[in-house]
Amino acid sequence: MIEKMCKLLLWVISLNLSLIGYSQSAVINHRAENLGNAELVVTYSLNYQQDSLNPHDIRHEEMLLFLGEDVSLFLSYNRFLSIEQFKGFANVAEMHAMFQNPELQTPPTRFRYQIFKNYPEGKITKVNSIMGDPFRYQENLNGFDWQLTSGASEMHGFKVQKATTEYGGRNWVAWFTPEIPHNDGPYKFNGLPGLILEIRDTRDHYVFELVSVEIPGEPMLIEFPERNYIKTSKKDFFRARQSFHDDIISRASEAGLSVESQQTAAENLRRRNNPLELTFD
């Protein structure tokens, strides 16, 4: 039993390493396009239900929105820490030493994507990886049909207004403030006349709430990582990701895991059945 668990653990570690999406050459030579400095750093608290059949399993992560003059970047806080750590490695040996010492590792994240708004102009660009292969796809920036409600209230010391929209197979309710004149928000959400402070779907499966808005104490670059991306459409990316999930048992088998361990890996993925975007059109 111990041997089986060790094999499963090693396979999971291998899977997580491949999902990071950094090749050894990228670790040694950090390459990125400079998109400007962040004028504001917005922190959101995300509570989400990863299993649509288990309302008691609520997960939490902190997310960051870097707002520049023309471009913004959204990613998880732990993903940001991981990127900064990898940028600091001088060679592959330092990277390997980190993986061998749990105390040196940054906390894990379920959200490895990076979302760039208005890059290129008028587009949303999302980068993510599937088994170490870096993918990139684009959507139109002005893709949200917002319905504004009358009246105003207050939230986090700001005057806010309510707006609703439908996206990714979910209905969303947002509160934004014109007092922070950035038509941006968490994830891909944008297009309101002010910063989104809170947004949630009507089933409360995904809830983004403002934690803080800060002016950086020192210059913080918004960088687009240079990779040999697989440029694809949103639809094809979703299909590739689903194909990986559907093929998880075969991949676990190829890794030499027992049937029991293969089933465990499949069950772990099965519980992650409630993505933020339920549809891709």
User: Is residue 277 scored above 50 in pLDDT?
Assistant: yes
Which band of pLDDT confidence, cut at 50, 70 and 90, is reported for residue 130?
Answer: confident
* pLDDT, position 265: 60
pLDDT at 215 over 80: yes
Most confident of 11-15, 16-20, 227-231: 227-231
The pLDDT value given to residue 93: 77
| Range with lowest mean pLDDT among 178-192, 208-222, 267-281 | 267-281
What mean pLDDT is predicted for residues 215-243?
93
Q: What is the pLDDT of residue 46?
A: 98
- pLDDT > 50? residue 81: yes
Between 85 and 45, the higher pLDDT residue: 45
Say which residue, 174 or 106, is predicted with more confidence: 174
Q: Is the pLDDT of residue 26 over 70?
A: no
* Mean of all residue pLDDT scores within the chain: 85
Query: Is the confidence at residue 138, as pLDDT, over 90?
Result: yes
pLDDT value of residue 3: 42
Confidence of residue 212 (pLDDT cuts 50, 70, 90): very high
Query: Measuring CA to CA, how many Å separate 187 from each of 97, 111, 240?
Result: 33, 11, 21
**Mean pLDDT within 203-215:** 98
Q: Which residue has the higher pLDDT, 208 or 13?
A: 208
Determine the average pLDDT of the residues in 135-153: 93
Which of 51-55, 168-172, 277-281 shows the highest mean pLDDT?
A: 168-172
CA distance linking residue 106 with residue 112, whole number of Å: 13
Determine the pLDDT at residue 84: 86
Q: What is the pLDDT of residue 249?
A: 59
pTM of the model: 0.85
